[in-house]
Structure 1
Amino acid sequence: MEFKDIQNTWQQQSGKTTIPDFTPAQQKLQKLRKEQRITQLILGVTGIILIVFFFYISAYKYSGTLLGMLLMISVVVIRVFIEIRSRQKLRKINVLLTLEDFKGQLIHYYQNRKILAFRTIPILLIVYNLGVGIMMYYFYLYLSRGFFYYVLISYLVSFVVLFYFIRKQVLNELSILKALQES
């Protein structure tokens, strides 16, 4: 075989070689990261509001309000920590791996999110609602009835809206996991 034959063979092979397009995978990961940043922002603002309210009402002076506020603040802080860890894990997913390895990393990521959605988050919601319940008792004692009912109804409406968005996010993540496992 002559050099020209080897060169022709190499050129034909190099012409057939294509680099896979990783743009869709990168775009999906960027979208997930953006959604997580929004979630972290909302949780962070909620945490700051709770901490400011904690000091505004001097909750540290009374054991009942201290317990209620600490439960609520602790849940938000734990949830922020969970989202930060989740974002770190998402950042470690390498889009330049083979399709199977990339898919395997995504499946593992979404399986961890599924565990969070069905085990950890419900427990956190229960603990948060216990804190709210404790605070509602004190609101009932020390606020006018009109303002108390305003706070109660506002909380119920915001909880329903929050629950709707959490449910929507979980269903979306479950559908992605199912699609990844079936493909």
Structure 2
Amino acid sequence: MEFKDIQNTWQQQSGKTTTIPDFKPAQQKLQKLRKEQRITQLILGITGIVLIAFFFYISAYKYNGTLLGMSLLIGVIVVRVWIEIQSRQKLQKINVLLTLEEFKTQLISYYEKRKILAFRIIPLLLIIYNIGVGIMMYYFYQYLSRGFFYYIVISYVVSFVILFYFIRKGVLNELSILKTLQEE
């Protein structure tokens, strides 16, 4: 090839307009996911702090039953915070500047792991948490007035229903995103 041929080829290529994919929607979705995870971490963190403060307030460390109940409650929250931190770190590693197929593959992998979390780990944590609550309810029943005990029971049931609703809503949202990604 001579210089004129190279120059001609270069001019033809430079005349072509290549379209660069718009990464803004992907970046916005990732930012939204990261924001939701931060909110979840904040709520879990506050719950953990309240439980730890309550642990020391009632001197749960002095009695085996309350120690076990509160340890289960706090342990579940700590594990859940750790899971969300790990999940957030994995989400941050997703590179929006990859090709569309590579980006999609990374997102599918991320949501597949979240699906396992939603159907295996979270239910187990909820069961353990409820066991801890059950243990604590036994002691609340013994040492608190009936009115206050019933207030705690009703508050817990209402809180659990609301929590379950938001967990379910989040899981269904993640499942729909995964389904959409897999169908495309």
Amino acid at match of 1:128: Y
Residue 28 (structure 2) pairs with residue 12 (structure 1): no
Residue in 1 aligned with 2:60?
A: 59
Amino acid at match of 2:30: L
Amino acid at match of 2:15: Q
Identical amino acids, percent of aligned pairs: 76
Distance of aligned partners of 1:83 and 1:7 in 2 relative to their CA distance in 1, 3 Å threshold: closer
CA distance in 1, matches of 2:169, 2:145: 36
Residue in 2 aligned with 1:157?
A: 158
Q: After the TM superposition, list the runs of 4 or more consecutive aligned residues in structure 1 that deviate by more than 4 angstroms.
A: none
Residue in 1 aligned with 2:104?
A: 103
Amino acid at match of 1:142: Y
Residue in 2 aligned with 1:131?
A: 132
Distance of aligned partners of 1:78 and 1:7 in 2 relative to their CA distance in 1, 3 Å threshold: closer
Residue in 2 aligned with 1:45?
A: 46
RMSD between aligned residues: 1.2
CA deviation after TM superposition for structure 1 residue 11, in Å: 3.0
Residue 179 (structure 2) pairs with residue 178 (structure 1): yes
CA distance in 2, matches of 1:12, 1:60: 75
Structure 2's unaligned 5+ residue stretches are none
CA deviation after TM superposition for structure 1 residue 20, in Å: 1.1
Amino acid at match of 1:12: G
Give TM-score scaled by structure 1 length: 0.96
Q: Deviation digits for residues 140-172 of structure 1, max 9, x if unmatched?
A: 000000000000000000000000000000000
Structure 1's unaligned 5+ residue stretches are none
Aligned residues: 181
Residue in 2 aligned with 1:83?
A: 84
CA deviation after TM superposition for structure 1 residue 8, in Å: 3.6
Give TM-score scaled by structure 2 length: 0.95
SS in 2 for 1:121: helix
